Structure 1
Amino acid sequence: MNAIALSNWDLALAALLIVINGGLSLALSLRLERQLLISTIRMIVQLTLVGLVLTTLFSHVSPLWTSLAALAMIAFAGHEVTARQERRLTGGWSYGLGTGCMLFAAGVVTIFALSTQVSPDPWYHPRYAIPLLGMVLGNTMTGVSLGLHTLTSTLTRERAAVEARLMLGADRHEALLPVTRTAMKAAMMPIINSMAATGLVALPGMMTGQILAGADPAEAVKYQILVMFLIAGGTSIGATGVVLAGGRRLTDARHRLRLDRLQAGKAA
């Protein structure tokens, strides 16, 4: 079975749903029509550019270009993580911590999948490496962002309790343990909910796309299970890294809480 090709007219017809959303916003005075328009235009432009970039990458199979594209994706993801923090770490830590954890987690998981289960030839082929990295990175970004946000906000809110444990003789790891657990649970909850609902409540995008493209449903299911495992692994590694490293940054070797290393400010 061949994939069903979509024309520009098909996309324009589907865009009527966005027009309806805008009409509802105007009718109910939600004032979301401008944001909806901007988001729609951004999505179209971004996806069009991504399509052009991927077409170029696929025609020039090079580890250098694949690596540069991957680093660009991680750099943008790091910016998104930083922008969503209400209280950011001072200095370069604000951007570097989340980006570094995502680079390690998503990189390790993607290379693991490419060199074992997927095994393209060559293993760095962008047709496989970039989509896999994108799926893993997008969910790892959510976990890292939630973990870091929960860590900083909970530490700020429960400062007295943490300092009381420190004064009673607990070291910084013991004093931060309840906060660390809370942050880790918040970071992992989206992927846990997603795995629990996949199949019965929702058909994931990758699986749906493969089926629409004519792939055997049983084979599409196998790939989706693999992707969910990779996403869960990347999220767990990234969230653990950012929460533990963030907790270490917000304390010192003398086992003191260092909230002076946080800057106040709303997310952009």
Structure 2
Amino acid sequence: MNTDTLVELDLLRLLWALGLMAAAIALASWQRLGLTNNLAMATARTVLQLGAVGYVLAVVFEWRNPFAVLLVLLVMLTTATLVARNRISKKLSRLLPIVGGCLLTSTLLTLSYTSLAVIRPETWYEPRYLIPLAGIVLGNAMNAAAIAGDRLVSTIKQRRREIETHLSLAATPDQAIAQYRKEAIKAGLIPTINSMMVVGIVKLPGIITGQLLSGVDPLNAALYQMLIMFMLAFADLLTAVLVTQGIARQFFNKAAQLVLP
């Protein structure tokens, strides 16, 4: 028996895999957690969304057209922007372009450096590398933006009197919320830093697990996971810094007065 042969998942195996979700739904129902419908909906969306993505990416990978690759990336960026904006606040009028611009900047810089200095593929739009790495970076940057942005918005609303006191003592808007912004940035980086602290010891991330299952050399899989963790640390930090800076400006007018939406 060839132990290096990849075991492909067919429809029958997928149906058996769905047994895990059936068991989870049954357990939630038995415990009366109120999660039955949520788990069922999440299962259905997972199957539909990943199934559709699988077919689309198969075509894009085979086609290797730069415009098709850019279209996929645009859809990913738009979705991440909307999700992050909704998690932060829907009341800030200019939050959508701020979040979108921050995610675009951090992802573009991260992928450009990785492609030019590290991976160096034959073509810059090689979908085998660009799309998976962009998805990982965007997904994590989206979470960093949402956590940092939500923390800053809620803190500014809760500490209104303290901020106004600082302003009345001749502090600038940046000085008045500097500590709150630092705390928000740190909060946005907590998931990434925690993952880096225990990666390979407590858990194996999805990327290295997927590569190991596909038969990739374990050392090469580990090196790729290192690269990804470094990418995420930079992209998440840059996103949190930019998002909090952009949000902070929405709470002050030209006269440096605090204005809550």
TM-score by length of 1: 0.93
* 2: CA distance, partners of 1:143 / 1:5: 34
Residues 222-251 of structure 1, C-alpha deviations (whole Å, 9 max, x = no match):
000000000111101111000011112211
Match of 2:209 in 1: 208
Match of 2:139 in 1: 138
User: Of the two structures, which has the highest relative contact order with CA contacts closer than 8 Å and spacing of 6 or more?
Assistant: 1
Number of residue pairs aligned between Structure 1 and Structure 2: 258
- For residues 187-202 of structure 1, the aligned pairs below 5 Å read 187-202=188-203
For the residue of structure 2 that corresponds to 1:31, the secondary structure is coil
**Pairing of 1:132-171 with structure 2 (within 5 A):** 132-171=133-172
Alignment partners' CA distance in 1, 2:80 and 2:95: 13
Contact 1:114 1:124 in 2 (8 A): no
**Corresponding residue for residue 76 of structure 2:** 73
Equivalent residue letter for 1:59 = E
Partner residue of 1:33?
Answer: 36
Report what 2:114 is aligned to.
113
In the TM superposition, residue 252 of structure 1 has moved relative to its aligned partner by 2.6
> Aligned partners of 1:147 and 1:191: how far apart in 2?
13
1:88 — aligned with what? Answer: 90
TM-score, length-scaled by structure 2: 0.95
CA distance in 1, matches of 2:183, 2:107: 23
Moved more, 29-38 or 39-48: 29-38
Q: By how many angstroms is 1:89 displaced?
A: 4.2
Give secondary structure in 2 for the equivalent of 1:161. Answer: helix
CA distance in 2, matches of 1:111, 1:126: 14
Q: Please state whether the residue corresponding to 1:190 is helix, strand or coil.
A: helix
Given that 1:144 and 1:235 are in contact with CA atoms closer than 8 Å, whether structure 2 keeps it comes out as yes
Q: Which of 2, 5, 9 in structure 1 is aligned with 2:8?
A: 5
Would the aligned equivalents of 2:144 and 2:240 in 1 still touch at CA under 8 Å? yes
1:176 corresponding residue in structure 2:
177
Q: Which of 53, 58, 61 is residue 50 of structure 1 equivalent to?
A: 53
Name the CA distance, whole Å, in 1 between partners of 2:251 and 2:6.
Answer: 52
Is the deviation greater in 193-202 or in 6-15?
6-15
Q: What is the deviation of 1:3?
A: 2.1
Q: 2:69 matched to 1:61? A: no
Shift of 1:199: 0.9
Q: Secondary structure at the match of 1:156?
A: helix
Cα drift, residue 253 of structure 1: 3.1
Identity among equivalent pairs (%): 32
Secondary structure of 1:39's aligned partner: helix
CA distance in 2, matches of 1:57, 1:232: 28
Answer yes or no: is the 8 Å Cα contact 1:98–1:145 preserved in 2: no
- Is contact 1:180–1:243 with CA below 8 Å preserved after alignment? yes
Residue 69 of structure 2 contacts residue 125 of structure 2 at CA under 8 Å; is this kept in 1? Answer: yes
| TM-superposed deviation, 1:213 | 0.8
5+ residue gaps, structure 1, are: 263-268
1:88 is aligned with what amino acid?
A: K
CA displacement 1:123-168 (0-9 Å, x = unmatched): 2111110000001111000000111101110000001101100001
Task: Work out the CA distance in 1 between the residues paired with 2:120 and 2:145.
Answer: 28
What's the counterpart of residue 266 of structure 1? none
Corresponding residue SS for 2:90:
strand
